[in-house]
Amino acid sequence: MKTTSDIRREFLEFFRDRNHAVVPSASLVPGNDPTLLFTNSGMVQFKDVFLGAEKRSYVRATDVQRCLRAGGKHNDLDSVGYTARHHTFFEMLGNWSFGDYFKKEAIAWSWELLTEGWKLPAERLLVTIYHTDEEAYRIWCEDIGLPPERIIRIGDNKGAPYASDNFWQMADTGPCGPSSEIFYDHGPGVPGGPPGSPGEDGDRFIEIWNLVFMQFDRQPDGSLLPLPAPCVDTGMGLERLAAVLQGKHSNYEIDLFRTLIRRAAELTGTPDLGNKSLRVIADHIRACSFLIVDGVLPSNEGRGYVLRRIIRRALRHGWMLGVREPFFHRMVEAVDALMGEAYPELRAKRELVERALRAEEERFAETLDAGMRIFDEIADRSGGTIPGAEAFRLYDTYGFPLDLTADIARERGLDVDIAGFDAAMARQRETARAAGKFASGAGLPADLVAQLRPAEFLGYDRLQAGGLEVIA
C-alpha cells in the first residue's frame, strides 16, 4: 500500500522531473498578508508572484503546503467529524506555472499522474469546467479523450441550488480565471450527486484536484483584460488523494489518520475506533501542533483564539470519552512520527509544542467539568434554544468559546441564541476592558513563549520540502 508519505514524495518527484522547482511549505501564518488569518491554500505564498510584485528564480514550482481552514474566510471546522473529506488542517499538493505553461500541460500532467502514475481507473474520474471555457473543454474531450458526459459545465453559482463555482478570483480586482476540478466517484454505495447538481454536497463524488487557470486581470469596472503571461495554480488534497489510492472512502481511514485515531483511542480508553470524537481529536491535534510550530499561542483574540477554540473542542471530546487527565499533548509524538520527516520544523519544536498544549489543557481542566454540568442544567430547561446570556456565562466563567457551546448544542439538537450572546458580549466589553489578561501566551512560562516565537526565515535553499532536498 502507498502511504501518505509515499504519495507526498511521489507528487513532488513527478513535477520535479518535469522541471518544477521543489519549494517548501510556507508557515500557516501568512508572512505577506496581514488581512489573511491563515494560509488556506497553496497559492498564498505565491500571491505576490502572481501580482507581479515579486520575482522568483523559477517559473515552474511544486510544493506541499500545510493549510488551515478554521476561522477566517474558509472555515471547515464545523464539517470535521461529519463529512468524509474535510479537515481543519490538511496538506495541499500543488504545481505552479508563473507565466510558463498553461491549460494544455496542466491538464495533461494531472491526468497522466492520476491515471498512469497512480493507475486510477479513468472511468471513476469526472471533471468540471467553467461553462464558457471552450479551451479547457477541447483539451479534456479531444486531447485526453474524456467522454462529454463526464465534463460538467459550471457557471458562477449565481442563485444556483448548489455551491460550485468554477471562476476563481483573488480579490474584487486583479488576477482571476476559470478553474477545472477533478472528482473521484466513490460509487453508488455512497449518498451524493455529481458536481453541479443539488446533491453535490454528499460524499459520493469527491473533489480531489482543483486546477486554476489565471488568465485575466479584472479591472475596477468589472471588465476582464487578458494577462500578458497566464499562470497555473493547482491544489490537490493529500488526504483525499490518499483515501482514493488506499481504496478507502473517508480521509479518516487512511494510514495517517488510522494511526492518529488508534493513539487517541489508547489515550482515551475508547474501544470503538469509529467514534466521532476520535476523528475530531485526530484532526485537531494536527492543526494545533502546526499552529504552535508556526508561532501561534493560545490567547483570547485573533489567531491565538482560533487555536484556543480548536484545543478546547478537542478537550471537550476527550472529556466526553471520559478523560479527566491531560491527554491531548501526548498525541504530538504520533504527529511527529508521521509527519516530522516532511516537516523538520515540527520535529525541532516537538517538546515545546507538548508543553504549550499541556499548559492549555491544565488551564481548561479547571472549568471544563463544571462548565459541562452547567451546560446540562441549561439544556434541561432550555426548551430547544440555549439563551444568549447563558452561552455568555459559559464563555465568561467557564472558558467555553461560543463555537464550543454551539458544537455541543448541535450534537443534542439544540440551537444557541447567537444574537443574545453577541449582545451580552458587547455589554461586557463596554464595562470592562481587560487588557494584559488577553495577551498571546498569557499564563505560559516566559521561556516557553520566548522559544516559540516564529522562526526566522532561513531562505529557501536552507530548507527541505516533503522530505526532498529543495532544488530552488
Binding site for ligand ATP (CB under 6 A): 41, 69, 76, 85-87, 90, 92, 207-210, 235-237, 239-240
Residues 359-388 that bind Mg ion (CB under 5 A): none
Using Cβ positions, the residue closest to Mg ion within the complex turns out to be: 210
Q: How far is CA 146 from CA 128, 136, 194, in A?
A: 12, 12, 16
Q: Which does 208 bind (CB under 5 to 8 A by kind): ligand ATP, Mg ion, none?
A: ligand ATP
Q: Which does 85 bind (CB under 5 to 8 A by kind): Mg ion, ligand ATP, none?
A: ligand ATP
Q: In this complex, which beta carbon is closest to ligand ATP, that of residue 40 or of residue 405? A: 40
Helix/strand/coil for 235 = strand
Q: In this complex, which beta carbon is closest to Mg ion, that of residue 110 or of residue 210? A: 210
Strands (E), 28-159: 60-68, 89-97, 125-130, 151-154
Q: Which of 215, 172, 179 is nearest to 50 (CA)?
A: 215
What is the smallest separation between the CB atom of 4 and ligand ATP, expressed in angstroms? 12
d(CA 314, CA 308): 10
- What does the DSSP assignment read for 193-232? --TTSTTTTSSSEEEEEEEEEEEEEE-TTS-EEEEEEEEE
Residue 215 binds to Mg ion (criterion: CB under 5 A): no
Q: In this complex, which beta carbon is closest to ligand ATP, that of residue 77 or of residue 391? A: 77
What is the smallest separation between the CB atom of 207 and Mg ion, expressed in angstroms? 5
Q: In this complex, which beta carbon is closest to ligand ATP, that of residue 2 or of residue 363? A: 2
Q: In this complex, which beta carbon is closest to ligand ATP, that of residue 70 or of residue 368? A: 70
Beta-carbon count within 10 A of 421 CB: 23
Cβ atoms of 172 and 198 closer than 8 Å:
no
What is the smallest separation between the CB atom of 196 and Mg ion, expressed in angstroms? 11
Residue 88 binds to Mg ion (criterion: CB under 5 A): no
Q: In this complex, which beta carbon is closest to Mg ion, that of residue 207 or of residue 422? A: 207
Residue 128 binds to Mg ion (criterion: CB under 5 A): no
What is the smallest separation between the CB atom of 208 and ligand ATP, expressed in angstroms? 5
Q: In this complex, which beta carbon is closest to ligand ATP, that of residue 47 or of residue 240? A: 240
Residue 40 binds to Mg ion (criterion: CB under 5 A): no
CA angle 116, 125, 233 (to 5 degrees): 80
What is the smallest separation between the CB atom of 79 and Mg ion, expressed in angstroms? 8
What is the smallest separation between the CB atom of 370 and ligand ATP, expressed in angstroms? 33
Residue 210 binds to Mg ion (criterion: CB under 5 A): yes
Q: Which does 237 bind (CB under 5 to 8 A by kind): ligand ATP, Mg ion, none?
A: ligand ATP
Q: In this complex, which beta carbon is closest to ligand ATP, that of residue 82 or of residue 457? A: 82
> Which amino acid is located at 339 in the chain?
M
Helix/strand/coil for 176 = strand
Q: Which does 14 bind (CB under 5 to 8 A by kind): ligand ATP, Mg ion, none?
A: none
- What does the DSSP assignment read for 232-275? EEEEEEHHHHHHHHTT-SSGGGSHHHHHHHHHHHHHHT---TT-
Cβ atoms of 294 and 27 closer than 8 Å:
yes
What is the smallest separation between the CB atom of 78 and ligand ATP, expressed in angstroms? 11
Beta-carbon count within 10 A of 324 CB: 10
Q: Which three cell numbers mark 184?
A: 473521484
Residue 299 binds to Mg ion (criterion: CB under 5 A): no
d(CA 56, CA 289): 30
- Sort strands 415-416 and 468-469 into parallel, antiparallel or unpaired: unpaired
Phi, psi of 421 (to 5 degrees): -65, -45
What is the smallest separation between the CB atom of 270 and Mg ion, expressed in angstroms? 29
Q: Which three cell numbers mark 447?
A: 521561556
Binding site for Mg ion (CB under 5 A): 207, 210
